[in-house]
């Protein structure tokens, strides 16, 4: 193991010891070390960091993120190696948060219906994706949380999901509507009938009982999105699985506005339900939907009209 790779291992152990998952960063930094080795470089320089960060050249959106990863690692190395150059901040435009796509009820119905047509005709796959995307839509869970569910995490008698150590290492309980429990119980029965003892520990499983993988779930979603007209063939952007979570949050806030609830007071409840570490992260949804902003303006108008 080279000195740089050993230093990277120590750095990752430190970050993960502080509670950060740091999985994507670890993969990118390992790629950066390979890049340095190919250039026979043993010390990080700004020139090398920028050269690596701007690969591939057609993905400008990832440049700032990649350079940020190197900057953190370089700061760590600079403590013991003063020759290390720490790339300055602000060299690339900051990442812009993607504007969420707000699905309509009809689009979600079309997505779930299309999932039921997935091959094989008598397999479990169609039911897995139908119920997986449906659960995300009605609970606002993250995709990683949904595919990470174990069978023991799903209590359909009590109507509770246990989300264990998800983003930021937090765990939480997610209550389910009775109709959702009925749907998930139907899926569990189909899964057991299809796999029997071959079924693994996860609630949602692949055709042969293994765990669902992120990349395959996204590929299925992109395929279904094209089939129902949400994306055109060859599109690299468009509605995402994560937008189902945005839609849930915004629909919840809009519903509270319509019902006359104090949204400001209830926002911490939604923040806890979604698994946010800070209510500030949930406030972002207040400005993410024109419909939500219109509801807020109507409430404000009513208050002004009622004022003496």
Q: Which of 21, 125, 242, 299 is catalytic?
A: 242
Residue partners of 69: CB distance under 8 A and separation at least 6: 25, 28, 29, 32
Ranges of each domain in the chain = 3-78, 105-227, 242-306
Tokens 């509605």 identify what position? 239
| 167 labelled catalytic | yes
* Interval 191-232: pLDDT, tens: 999 998 888 899 999 999 999 999 999 999 999 999 999 998
- The pLDDT value given to residue 161: 97
| 276 labelled catalytic | yes
* Interval 68-79: pLDDT, tens: 999 999 999 999
* Bridge-based pairing state of the strands 154-155 and 172-175: unpaired
Q: Which of 142, 202, 231, 257 is catalytic?
A: 142
* Interval 7-35: pLDDT, tens: 999 999 999 888 777 888 999 999 999 99
Dihedral angle of Cα 303, 306, 307, 308, to the nearest 10 degrees: 180
Angle between helices 46-53 and 23-38 (to 10 degrees): 120
| 142 labelled catalytic | yes
Query: Full-prediction pTM beyond 0.85?
Result: no
Structure tokens at 182: 């009925």
Q: Which of 11, 103, 129, 285 is catalytic?
A: 285
Domain at 105-227: CATH code: 1.10.443.10
Q: Which of 24, 167, 208, 266 is catalytic?
A: 167
| 5 labelled catalytic | no
Q: Which of 130, 131, 245, 247 is catalytic?
A: 245
Give the dihedral sign, CA 281/282/288/293: negative
């Amino acid at each position: 193991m080279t000195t740089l790779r050993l230093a990277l291992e120590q750095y990752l152990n430190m970050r993960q010891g502080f509670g950060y998952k740091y999985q994507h960063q670890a993969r990118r930094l390992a790629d950066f070390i390979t890049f340095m080795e190919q250039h026979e470089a043993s010390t990080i320089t700004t020139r090398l960091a920028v050269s690596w960060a701007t690969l591939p050249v057609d993905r400008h959106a990832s440049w700032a993120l990649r350079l940020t990863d190197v900057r953190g690692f370089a700061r760590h190395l600079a403590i013991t190696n003063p020759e290390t150059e720490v790339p300055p901040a602000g060299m690339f435009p900051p990442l812009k948060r993607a504007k969420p796509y707000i699905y309509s009820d009809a689009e979600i119905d079309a997505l779930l219906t299309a999932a039921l047509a997935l091959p094989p005709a008598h397999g479990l796959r169609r039911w897995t994706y139908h119920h997986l995307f449906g659960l995300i839509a009605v609970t606002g869970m993250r995709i990683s949380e949904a595919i990470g569910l174990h069978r023991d995490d799903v209590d359909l008698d009590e109507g509770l999901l246990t989300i264990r150590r998800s983003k930021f290492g937090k765990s939480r309980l997610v209550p389910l509507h009775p109709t959702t429990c009925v749907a998930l119980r139907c899926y569990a029965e189909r899964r057991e009938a299809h796999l029997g003892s071959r079924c693994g520990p996860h609630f949602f499983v692949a055709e042969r009982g293994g765990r669902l993988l992120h990349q395959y779930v996204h590929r299925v979603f992109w395929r279904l999105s094209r089939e129902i007209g949400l994306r055109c063939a060859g599109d690299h952007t468009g509605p995402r699985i994560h937008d189902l979570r945005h839609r849930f949050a915004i629909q919840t806030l809009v519903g509270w506005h319509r019902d006359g609830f104090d949204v400001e007071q209830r926002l911490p409840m939604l923040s806890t339900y979604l698994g946010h570490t800070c209510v500030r992260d949930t406030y972002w949804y207040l400005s993410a939907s024109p419909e939500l902003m219109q509801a807020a303006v109507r409430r404000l108008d009513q208050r002004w009209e009622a004022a003496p």
